[in-house]
């Protein structure tokens, strides 16, 4: 004798058929009405860099930088701005002027071991 959980009733079968047909209808509806959207979205996203470059040319550097900071644009869209070029220049030309006057501190016996500390860290003697 079968237990009650193992028996499948006609109401359950009808419900499963209804659900599966609704899934197919939903998929067909999406294909008819909205399947174009992902491709269109990709095309618009691909144009972002071009649009931002045009905006930089049209509105000038100061206005574009204000807009970019205000809307937190990605760094890839800020490459051509004056502030980004200055930041890039600062990062590539690291000055070592702050250590010109650095000297090794005197010790009581005048010995530093094998290497003086300033020689170890490539500072000026």
Q: Are residues 99 and 65 in the same domain?
A: yes
Residue 1 belongs to a domain:
no
DSSP for residue 100:
T
- What does the alpha-carbon distance between residue 106 and residue 34 come to, in Å, rounded to a whole number? 77
Q: What is the pLDDT of residue 119?
A: 56
Q: How many CB atoms lie under 10 A from the CB of residue 9?
A: 9
Q: What is the pLDDT of residue 110?
A: 64
Residue 30 belongs to a domain:
yes
DSSP for residue 121:
T
DSSP for residue 103:
-
Domains held by the chain: number? 2
Residue 4 belongs to a domain:
no
pLDDT tens digits, 1-42: 556 677 778 888 899 889 888 999 999 999 999 999 999 999
Residue 118 pLDDT greater than 80, yes or no: no
Q: Are residues 83 and 121 in the same domain?
A: yes
Q: Are residues 29 and 83 in the same domain?
A: no
Note down the domain range covering 75.
Answer: 47-104+113-125
pLDDT tens digits, 62-117: 898 899 889 888 888 887 888 888 888 877 777 777 777 776 667 666 666 555 55
């Amino acid at each position: 004798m079968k237990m009650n959980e193992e028996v499948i009733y006609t109401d359950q079968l009808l419900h499963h058929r209804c659900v599966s047909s609704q899934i197919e209808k939903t998929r067909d509806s999406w294909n008819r009405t909205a399947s174009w959207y992902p491709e269109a979205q990709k095309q618009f996203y691909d144009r972002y860099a071009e649009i931002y470059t045009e905006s930089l040319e049209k509105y000038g550097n100061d206005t574009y930088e204000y807009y970019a900071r205000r809307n937190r644009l990605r760094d890839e869209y800020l490459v051509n701005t004056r502030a980004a070029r200055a930041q890039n220049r600062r990062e590539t030309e690291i000055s070592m002027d702050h250590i010109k006057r650095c000297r090794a501190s005197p010790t009581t016996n005048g010995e530093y071991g094998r290497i003086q500390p300033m020689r170890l860290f490539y500072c000026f003697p």
